[in-house]
Amino acid sequence: NNPPWPAYRGYHEYSFAHATMGVRLPTILGKAIEDATRTLNEQSSEDKIIDLVQCIERMEDLMHDLSGNAKLRPIIDDGEADVALWNKEIAKYFQGKDFMNAPWLFAEAYKYRRLHECFMVSKYWQDYDVFYRQKCDTFSRSSDAVFELSMRFAEPFKISDNLSDAEKLEAERLMFLELTQVCLWGNSTDLSLLINMTEEQIKALQSTGGDHLAATEKNILGNHLNQLWDTVKDLRGKTGGRIDFVLDNAGFELYCDCVYADFLLQSGLATQIRFHGKRFAWFVSDVTRKDWDWLLNTMVYGQLFPNATENELESLRRLGTRWKQYEKEGKWVYEQHPFWCTGYTFWELHTEAPDLFLHLSRSDLVYFKGDLNHRKLTYDCAAPASTPFDIAIGSMASAAGAPKIASLRTVKSDVVVGLGAEGDEIAERLDKEEPGWKISGKYAVVLLSEGRPG
């Protein structure tokens, strides 16, 4: 039940796997050590200091394993809910493998799990997130795009009563298409690729206006936006209207996801939104419960934007207050299943986490955000670009009960599918004309699978 194409591995020099495993992961881990050291130097309690020094020593051991390409060992039973899932996968498939010859997706995920283990076995630092400072800081440097959206959307979405039904639906369709793109391009600012971005670079990535969106639609290489609208417009009032988001990054991307989810609720297209985050620090910038709480609370109470006008700050407070209210009323639910922080691809979701599969199968539409989720959906393997999306995601489309799935992803790694019948030629041309097109985040896909009734 595996795809017929080989999975990318660290020793594949032609793939982004090679640079990631050899250079990017050690760099990210080095920065994580710097962060923990900074925290260490701010401590006063002897017990906590000694405990944190030991965490840092374990991170240094991990650095040694990673740069020396050590064999992957089982995860220590550190009390996290996913230990059995991890060790089952290691025992079954990756016994004796090292960081470079194990599948890239697995080895990269394994590194983040080992990093978590460094803290989980400690007494005081189990919840410590080495990327938290960076996540908060990047949001604080995203002010232009943050206020552009809050000034537009603080006022609840309402279509004028003077329009005919057809005009109303058209206004709603246009808003849906625009906000789907806002949600999509929010994914271009993930921190694992963009360490040390300048404020100008962040601004360029985050501009949201209408003209900009028309121009960026050209860069959506596999584009099911219209089919997606056909699916979503039929949800209203019909089946309970539950929409799920399998989240990717904290800060600005999460903020865009929430603006979109807010519209889906207010327009009556959905009645409940469930957000799925990570249990611990994952691929640098992924959303944890703490990031979720931080965003909503900082919008309402924070003082992150000293140069903003009172109107801008008020718009942000109103949005944040409304979102917190959705959470209180159960219209927005935040969840964190252990499966999301494992090395399994989603081809294995229905067998390795049947409870989660059943839960998702009750949703009317599941959005998967970002590059990593896309890699997991597609088994991170060398499928031709013309491969139809529902074939590329295997059991997530073909198993009984598979929900409708939409992947909103800016292309930041090798796997590219769903480009249509001409897809292989398009990919070949881009390979020639724009080397690096698969990792620049300039291109994107919006792909839909219709699922299979249970």
Q: Which residues bind Mg ion (CB under 5 A)?
A: 190, 248-249, 283, 286
Residue 235 or 247 with smaller CB distance to Mg ion = 247
Binding mask 283-302 toward ligand F6P (x if CB under 6 A, else -) reads x-------------------
Query: How far apart (Å, rounded) are the C-alpha atoms in residues 405 and 346?
Result: 12
Residues 371-390 that bind ligand F6P (CB under 6 A): 371-372, 375
- Least separation in angstroms between CB 389 and Mg ion: 20
Residue 90 or 247 with smaller CB distance to ligand F6P = 247
**Token duo for residue 271:** 């009645």
Query: How far apart (Å, rounded) are the C-alpha atoms in residues 436 and 431?
Result: 8
Binding mask 103-122 toward ligand F6P (x if CB under 6 A, else -) reads -----x--------------
SS (H, E, C) 423-441: HHHHHHHHHHHCCCCCCCC
Query: How far apart (Å, rounded) are the C-alpha atoms in residues 331 and 71?
Result: 45
Residue 415 or 430 with smaller CB distance to Mg ion = 415
Question: Taking CB under 6 A as the rule, does residue 193 contact ligand F6P?
Answer: yes
Binding mask 315-334 toward ligand F6P (x if CB under 6 A, else -) reads --------------------
Q: Choose among ligand F6P, Mg ion, none what residue 257 binds, the Cβ cut-off being 5 to 8 Å by kind.
A: none
Question: Taking CB under 6 A as the rule, does residue 190 contact ligand F6P?
Answer: yes
Report how many residues bind ligand F6P under the rule CB under 6 A: 16
Q: Which of 136, 416, 170, 184 is nearest to 302 (CA)?
A: 136
* Among 12, 15, 20, 364, interactor with ligand F6P by CB under 6 A: 20
Strand positions, DSSP E, 384-454: 405-410, 444-449
Q: Choose among Mg ion, ligand F6P, none what residue 117 binds, the Cβ cut-off being 5 to 8 Å by kind.
A: none
Is residue 96 within 8 A of residue 71, CB to CB? The reply is: yes
Residue 20 or 449 with smaller CB distance to ligand F6P = 20
- Least separation in angstroms between CB 231 and ligand F6P: 23
Residue 235 or 415 with smaller CB distance to ligand F6P = 415
Question: Taking CB under 6 A as the rule, does residue 274 contact ligand F6P?
Answer: no
Query: How far apart (Å, rounded) are the C-alpha atoms in residues 283 and 225?
Result: 27
**Token duo for residue 352:** 């390795």
Backbone angles phi, psi at 149, to 5 degrees: -75, -40
Query: How far apart (Å, rounded) are the C-alpha atoms in residues 334 and 409?
Result: 21
Residue 99 or 283 with smaller CB distance to ligand F6P = 283
AA identity, residue 228: L
Q: Residue 118 contacts by C-beta under 8 Å, 6 or more apart in sequence?
A: 55, 58, 59, 62
Residues 335-374 that bind ligand F6P (CB under 6 A): 370-372
Is residue 362 within 8 A of residue 402, CB to CB? The reply is: no
Q: Residue 101 contacts by C-beta under 8 Å, 6 or more apart in sequence?
A: 9, 10, 11
Handedness of CA 190, 341, 29, 8 (dihedral sign): negative
* Among 143, 181, 342, 413, interactor with ligand F6P by CB under 6 A: 413
How many CB atoms lie under 10 A from the CB of residue 212?
Answer: 13
Residue 56 or 100 with smaller CB distance to ligand F6P = 100
Backbone angles phi, psi at 406, to 5 degrees: -120, 130
Residue 348 or 364 with smaller CB distance to ligand F6P = 348
CA distances from 145 to 1, 148, 202, 209, 261 (A): 44, 5, 9, 9, 17
Question: Taking CB under 6 A as the rule, does residue 99 contact ligand F6P?
Answer: no
Question: Taking CB under 6 A as the rule, does residue 82 contact ligand F6P?
Answer: no
Query: How far apart (Å, rounded) are the C-alpha atoms in residues 264 and 258?
Result: 10
Stretch that binds ligand F6P, among 68-76, 188-196, 233-241, 421-429 (CB under 6 A): 188-196
The owner of tokens 């906000």 is 179
**Token duo for residue 20:** 């990631």
Residue 260 or 326 with smaller CB distance to ligand F6P = 260
Question: Taking CB under 6 A as the rule, does residue 248 contact ligand F6P?
Answer: yes
Residue 243 or 246 with smaller CB distance to ligand F6P = 246
Q: Choose among ligand F6P, Mg ion, none what residue 380 binds, the Cβ cut-off being 5 to 8 Å by kind.
A: none
- Least separation in angstroms between CB 411 and Mg ion: 14
Report residue 446 CA to chain centroid gap: 14
Which residues of this protein are in contact with ligand F6P, per CB under 6 A? 20, 24, 108, 187, 190, 192-193, 248-249, 283, 370-372, 375, 412-413
